[in-house]
Amino acid sequence: MRELLKNGSHLLYRKQTNILSAAFIIMSTYALSHIMGLFKTRLLISYFFGSRAALLDVYYAAFVIPDSLFQLLVIGSLSAAFIPVFTRYLARREEEAWTMASSAMNLVLLVFTVISAFIFIFAAPLSRLIAPGFDPVQIEIMASLLRVMLAAQLFFSVSGFLTGMIQSHQRFLIPALAPVAYNLGIILGIVFLSSPLGIYGPAVGVVLGASLHMLVQLPLALRLGFRFIPSINFRHSGVRETMRLMPPRALALGIDQVEQFAAVILASLLVPGSLTILNVARLLYAIPASLFGVTLGQAALPTLSRQSAEADRKTFISTLTETLLQSVFLALPVTILFIVLRIPIVRLVFGARSFPWLATLTTGKTLAILAFSAISSTLLQLIIRAFYALHDTRTPLVVGFFAALFDVSLSVVFVKVFNWNVLGLAAAISLTTFVETLVLFVILSSRLSPDNRLFFAASRPFSKMAVVALVMGISLWIPMRLLDRFVFDTTRTLPLIALTAITSSIGLGVYLFLSYLFQVRELSAFLSLARRLYQWPKFFAGPEPSEPLIIPASDQN
């Protein structure tokens, strides 16, 4: 038992030294978090959909303002500003790095508190502004929920900086477990507080989850050297540089939030339940990008930041190319599963009695439309971080600005002119994501290598994976149709599970076999990782091997 506890502690606090293994740790915990998130959403649907669908729409709409505030102030300062600066200070003067971190966090918290007070006071008019289709009772409830959820963002503000500090030390497991704790808090709020408090139960759960998100990370941050200093040093060069880098990223995220606001505004004018259906479909659609784009991007950012300082960009291009291809290799089968098995997946994940068949069909169609851009969304996370590693926050900002205008325009046309309702919102999101990713990739490729070495290095392996994915889609669709028609009664849960499991196994088997047959090199990297995980006692007990699992781009077939 003592050895088990020792090895467990070693696993929690150990340093991940290569991109793929770090990404695997984040990916595994993100997968657990997504499973809990799906379970949380199913609980929300079972408690509040059906006759109370409009109330659940209000709950999701209330998230938008506090989440936007968090995205702008905390995420905006962390991903593009704080982490690169903090990492550089760590390499030079560690004590100075912690002083800078405390000052930067205090400054952001001060700004957050002032803006939160304004939102708390004017919650009702702000709610009317972003949800014009809600009636007065819904607006009143939305304003109250908004005020409750502001408290959660305060915990997230501290927790976000703790995540940045820990990840800068190349420890990824604890920050990746924090979203699991967050979803657990919301689940507890739904289960134990929904009966006495109604829709306010999940909102209180959000606050509880956010506090757990912070508390899970605090011990490791303290162990690494963080100490809270109740002061703000505006003259500190690191704080000034963080504040200088922050506005472009914050503006870029603000542009992303414009798209969220537009979706809420238009969805509030549609039939009750539309906003819930859009959010439910997006929860599934976000899985490939979160599991593979965000995780590989988080793991790669410190490495790319170091390599960007080298005069010769060959290593940077090689690392970026392989990270992009590895994310595509992982995201493709999940995307194809969502497109082909959309209805069985929606029924299994969200098929509560209060979720009717019409809502299931609409959610399935919405998911399929969104899934067509899932690969683009996955790549977008990595490409943006590549720009950050190059200390360029303005290019994603400019492209994102025009992408937001494009998305809002398409949304209005698809919803108000073509009457596509929630499907129109999904189509606008999907098309915009594809265009934005393509434009940023072309700009990045031309900047890194005028001869388009990045583009050509990625094109041939990507073409192989696309062919494999197409065949996988066919191998999913044919057995699904045959099993559904001649073997299983899919109106019942157990036969539906059997159909989904058998069909998915066939499709994934075809994907892996053809990847081997076509010599898709990304497969070998993950097989290598699997072999290491198979020897899990050595993996847990000893230091992580130093050999890289990233295959050089020049070795691509």
Burial of 477 (0-12, 13-18, 19+ CB in 10 A): middle
pLDDT digits (tens, 9 = 90+) for 164-179: 888 888 787 788 788 8
pLDDT band at 201 (very low <50, low <70, confident <90, very high): very high
Q: Is the pLDDT of residue 436 over 90?
A: yes
pLDDT at res. 33 = 82
Long-range contacts from 533-542, C-beta under 8 angstroms, 24+ separation:
540/7, 540/8, 540/10, 540/11, 541/7, 541/10
Q: What is the per-residue pLDDT across 261-307, written as a single tens digit (0 to 9) for each?
A: 999 999 999 998 899 999 999 999 988 888 777 777 766 766 787 78
Q: What is the pLDDT of residue 17?
A: 53
Which of 268-277, 446-455, 461-470 is predicted with the least confidence, judged by mean pLDDT?
446-455
Q: What is the pLDDT of residue 505?
A: 95
Give the Å distances, CA to CA, from 511 to 123, 468, 470, 522: 50, 6, 9, 12
Asked whether residue 484 carries a pLDDT value surpassing 70, the answer given is yes
What does pLDDT average to over the chain? 84
For the stretch 2-34, pLDDT in tens is 543 444 455 555 665 555 566 666 677 778 888
Token pair 């905390």 is found at 74
Contact 297, 328 (CB under 8 A): no
Q: Is residue 73's pLDDT more than 80? A: no
Task: Tell me the per-residue pLDDT of 130-156, one tens digit each, with 9 for 90 and over.
Answer: 999 999 999 999 999 999 999 998 898
Enumerate long-range contacts of 478-485, CB under 8 Å, 24 or more apart.
479/503, 479/506, 480/340, 480/341, 480/344
pLDDT above 70: residue 79: no
Q: Is the pLDDT reported for residue 498 higher than 90? A: yes
Least trusted range by pLDDT, from 219-223, 252-256, 325-329, 385-389: 252-256
Proportion of the chain above pLDDT 70, given as a percent:
84
Q: Is 233 a residue whose pLDDT tops 90?
A: no
Residue closest to 398 by CA, chosen among 290, 209, 251: 251
Statement: residue 421 has pLDDT above 50: yes
Q: How far is CA 82 from CA 104, 106, 359, 428, in A?
A: 8, 13, 42, 32
Q: Which residue matches tokens 């992009």? A: 324
Residue 444, pLDDT > 80, answer yes
pLDDT recorded at residue 287: 87
User: What's the rounded Cα separation, in Å, for the pair 119 and 15?
Assistant: 40
The rounded Cα 396 to chain-centroid distance in angstroms is: 17
The answer to whether the CB of 224 falls within 8 A of the CB of 91 is: no
**Which pLDDT score, from 0 to 100, does residue 14 have?**
62
> What's the confidence (pLDDT) of residue 448?
84
- Does position 549 have pLDDT exceeding 90, yes or no? no
Q: What is the pLDDT of residue 408?
A: 94
How many CB atoms are located within 10 Å of the residue 119 CB?
18
pLDDT value at position 335?
A: 94
- Where do the domains of the chain lie? 50-264
**In the prediction, which pLDDT does 369 show?**
96
Structure tokens at 490: 């899919």
Question: What would the mean pLDDT of 350-375 be, rounded to a whole number?
Answer: 89
